[in-house]
Amino acid sequence: MGVVTQPDKPAGRGRRMQSPPVKLLAQTADLPILQPTSLKGPEVEQSLKDFAADFFVVAAYGKILPQAVLDIPQYECINIHASILPAYRGASPIAHALLAGDDKTGVAIMKMEAGLDTGPVFKISEEEIAPDETTGSLTEKLAMLGAEVLPSVLMSIVHAGLEPKAQDDALASYAPRIAKKDGWLDFSQNAEELARKIRAYAPWPGTFVGKGGQRVKVLKAQFFAGDDGQPGQVLHADAKGIVVACGVGALCLEDIQPAGKKPMSAAAWIAGRGVNSGESFDLEPPNH
């Protein structure tokens, strides 16, 4: 019946105003679009009431709905949450599932409450996590899964009186919002954890290391077991990649992007004398 999404925002180097992708899609379907800066206030509430909607369905909206809005639809406010609740309540459930090394995740179709992802759940559908999965690829899979499951849940609520089941709060875990600065790779940490972090932070905010005070983005890497060395030390640098010693194990950097340059293979960076065996990466994040 209509779409509510975030306001247009400036983005990119030119800081040009850009519309949320869901708005662009809604425009192609000639749907009414609301872009309030806040969901609080009588004018916004009345605009939402005017839809006379059976349901409000929320997906990655980025704001908690006030109780006055939750009370508007005839049936329920439904949230499509990208985790097997009560695991990973919060803003970044997909990334945190990858960070933890989970072998599966899923989508929870839940009834919204004023709390943070605390509402009872109508249905959970699971999805296996592939070894090379990134947040970008897994987000796409879970979005499709949520879209597939949602219609049957809505119909079951209306026609079969489907009731949600309460979450076990004792089993709850949280997935707080990720910041850009969190992308720093600390080579004193476990290499397996760093490899998971690179996949979890792709495509945003990305991960980076420092070399001579310069920021180098790490686009792809693999856990490399067995070699000893001081954290940050380059153990091998050849056509297969750059093997860097970590607190536990080593990390093989395969694709990188030096500051001010295009993405390239580790081999191309080595050929350009960006790094050599025996050198070391910085153990403190660069300031720029």
Whether domain 180-271 has CATH 3.40.50.280: the reply is no
Compute the distance between CA of residue 52 and CA of residue 45 in angstroms, rounded to an integer: 12
Tell which phi-psi region holds residue 10, choosing left (phi > 0), alpha (psi between -120 and 50) or beta. Answer: beta
Handedness of CA 224, 226, 227, 228 (dihedral sign): positive
Relative to beta strand 214-224, strand 250-258 is antiparallel
Please state the CATH superfamily assignment of the domain spanning residues 36-175 in this structure.
Formyl transferase, N-terminal domain (3.40.50.170)
Give the chain's length: 288
- φ and ψ of 251, to 5 deg: -120, 130
Compute the distance between CA of residue 129 and CA of residue 133 in angstroms, rounded to an integer: 6
pLDDT of residue 288: 53
Task: Return the HEC string of 79-109.
Answer: EEECCCCCCCEECCHHHHHHHCCCCEEEEEE
Q: Does a cis peptide bond (omega within 30 degrees of 0) precede residue 263?
A: no
Q: Are 264 and 257 in contact (CB under 8 A)?
A: yes
pLDDT of residue 287: 74
**What are the residue boundaries of the structural domains of the chain, listed by start?**
36-175, 180-271
Compute the distance between CA of residue 246 and CA of residue 231 in angstroms, rounded to an integer: 4
pLDDT of residue 55: 98
Compute the distance between CA of residue 160 and CA of residue 156 in angstroms, rounded to an integer: 5
Handedness of CA 47, 48, 52, 53 (dihedral sign): positive
**Structure-block tokens of residue 163:** 């009731």
Compute the distance between CA of residue 168 and CA of residue 195 in angstroms, rounded to an integer: 31
**Structure-block tokens of residue 227:** 């070699």
Number of other residues whose CB lies within 10 A of the CB of residue 153: 22
Distance (Å) of CA 264 to CA 81, 257, 278 = 35, 6, 21
Q: Are 197 and 206 in contact (CB under 8 A)?
A: no
Compute the distance between CA of residue 188 and CA of residue 233 in angstroms, rounded to an integer: 10
SS3 189: coil
Q: Which residues contact 286 (CB under 8 A, 6 or more apart)?
A: 210, 213, 214, 215
Amino acid identity for residue 161 in this structure: G
Q: How would you write the pLDDT of the chain (288 residues) with one tens digit per residue? A: 999 999 999 988 788 999 999 999 999 999 999 999 999 999 999 999 999 999 999 999 988 899 999 999 999 999 999 999 999 999 999 999 999 999 999 999 999 998 889 999 999 999 999 999 999 999 999 999 999 999 999 999 999 999 999 999 999 999 999 998 999 999 999 999 999 999 999 999 999 999 999 999 999 999 988 767 899 999 999 988 999 999 999 999 999 999 899 999 999 999 988 888 899 999 998 875
pLDDT of residue 274: 85
Q: What is the pTM of this model?
A: 0.93
Report how far Cα 283 is from the mean position of its chain's Cα atoms: 26
